[in-house]
Amino acid sequence: MNLREGTRRLALLLGGAGAVVGGFFSYAQLQSTLHQRADHRRFEQLENSSVVDQARKECFESSGPPEHGPWEKYQAPQEKPTFDPNASYCFYPDDNPNAPEYTAKLNNGGTETVHFLENRGIASVETAGGQTLYPTPAPGTGAYLLVAILPVLGFLIPWGVARAFGWVIAGFSQKGI
């Protein structure tokens, strides 16, 4: 066997091993991308649901600044308000209707709490099951392209390095290729 044939076989062996390693990383990237896509879709479904839409309306459209001063919360109420445990309500931090975060407590649709930002965007959604969902961007085309290209790169990089190394060694050998 000569140097040319040995280099070719070594390059193919290393390329095959690299393709397997690239396939492993491709699978890990695919799982991550699919998980990110599922989180994005789940959050979008909750964000566009009628329950969250109703909470947004209750927090931003029907709730205005308090008509009275902040001292009223320390006064004893004249009559006891009726509290419906199934009704949703909004919480303004520091009794400031212009606060940067609003919280809507809900008791229907599997959604328990929605945290709104000042611009009416959603900061997070807590479900009745105790799961908290945050806005997750959809995976880009590059993530799917990376899944496809990793095994190819896993083959080409070690194969090319082995071929180049064999070419350099052949250049220094007396016999040549």
Q: Spell out the domain ranges in the chain.
A: 21-63+83-137
Give the closest residue to 143 by CA, choosing from 56, 62, 50, 30. 30
The predicted pLDDT at position 83 comes to 44
Three-state secondary structure string covering 70-139: HHHHHCCCCCCCCCCCCCCEEECHHHCCCCCEEEEEEEECCEEEEEEECCCCEEEEEECCCCEECCCCCC
The predicted pLDDT at position 176 comes to 47
Give the closest residue to 159 by CA, choosing from 3, 6, 8. 8
Residues in a beta bridge with 90: 104
The predicted pLDDT at position 150 comes to 96
The predicted pLDDT at position 59 comes to 72
Helices (H) and strands (E) in the chain, counts: 3, 5
- One pLDDT digit (tens) per residue for the chain, 177 residues: 588 888 899 999 999 999 999 999 999 999 999 999 999 998 888 888 887 787 777 776 654 444 555 555 555 555 544 444 555 556 655 555 555 566 776 666 566 777 777 666 787 887 777 788 888 899 999 999 999 999 999 999 999 999 999 888 888 876 545
pTM of the full predicted structure?
0.66
The predicted pLDDT at position 48 comes to 84
Task: Phi first, then psi: give them for residue 107, nearest 5 degrees.
Answer: -135, 35
Residues in a beta bridge with 170: none
CA distances from 97 to 21, 60, 67 (A): 55, 9, 11
